[in-house]
Amino acid sequence: EVQLLESGGGLVQPGGSLRLSCAASGFSFSSYAMNWVRQAPGKGLEWVSGISGSGRNTYYGDSLKGRFTISRDNSKNTLYLQMNSLRAEDTALYYCAKEVWGIYSGRYFDYWGQGTLVTVSS
Amino acid sequence: EIVLTQSPGTLSLSPGERATLSCRASQSVTSSYLAWYQQKPGQAPRLLIYGASSRATGIPDRFSGSGSGTDFTLTISRVEPEDFAVYYCQQYGSSPPIFTFGPGTKVDIK
> Measuring CA to CA, which residue among A64, A74, A76, A65 is closest to residue A36?
A64
> Measuring CA to CA, which residue among A121, A94, A89 is closest to residue A14?
A121
> Measuring CA to CA, which residue among B65, B99, B107 is closest to residue B82?
B107
Q: Does B103 touch chain A (CB under 8 A)?
A: yes
The vertex-A45 CA angle with A44 and A49, nearest 5°, equals 155
First to last CA, chain A: 40
Percent of chain B at pLDDT > 90 equals 87
Chain A positions touching B46 (Cβ under 8 A) are 112
Q: Does B3 touch chain A (CB under 8 A)?
A: no
CA distance B110 to B91: 30
- Cis omega (within 30 of 0) for bond into B60: no
- Would the CB atoms of B92 and A107 count as touching at under 8 Å? yes
- Would the CB atoms of A105 and B32 count as touching at under 8 Å? yes
Residues 6+ apart with CB under 8 A from A67: A83, A84, A85, A86
Chain A positions touching B97 (Cβ under 8 A) are 50, 59
pLDDT in tens, B20-70: 999 999 999 887 899 999 999 999 999 999 999 999 999 999 999 999 999
The vertex-B13 CA angle with B81 and B29, nearest 5°, equals 95
CA distance B90 to B99: 7
Residue of B nearest to A49 (CA): B98
Residue-level pLDDT at A56: 96
Residue-level pLDDT at A30: 97
Q: Does B96 touch chain A (CB under 8 A)?
A: yes
| Residue B16 pLDDT level (bands cut at 50, 70, 90) | very high
Residue-level pLDDT at B96: 75
Residue B56: which of A59, A110, A112 has the nearest Cβ?
A110
CA distance A67 to B69: 34
Q: Does B93 touch chain A (CB under 8 A)?
A: no
Q: Is the pLDDT of residue B95 over 90?
A: no
Residue-level pLDDT at A103: 81
- Would the CB atoms of B35 and A46 count as touching at under 8 Å? no
Residue-level pLDDT at A111: 98
- Would the CB atoms of B50 and A112 count as touching at under 8 Å? no
- In this prediction, the residues of chain A whose per-residue pLDDT falls under 50 are none
Q: Is the pLDDT of residue B88 over 80?
A: yes
For residues A80 and A70, the answer to whether their CB atoms sit within 8 Å is: yes
Residue-level pLDDT at A13: 97
Q: How far apart, in Å, are the Cα atoms of A61 and each of A36, A65, A83, B48, B106?
A: 10, 8, 13, 24, 25
Closest CA of chain A from B109, distance in Å: 19
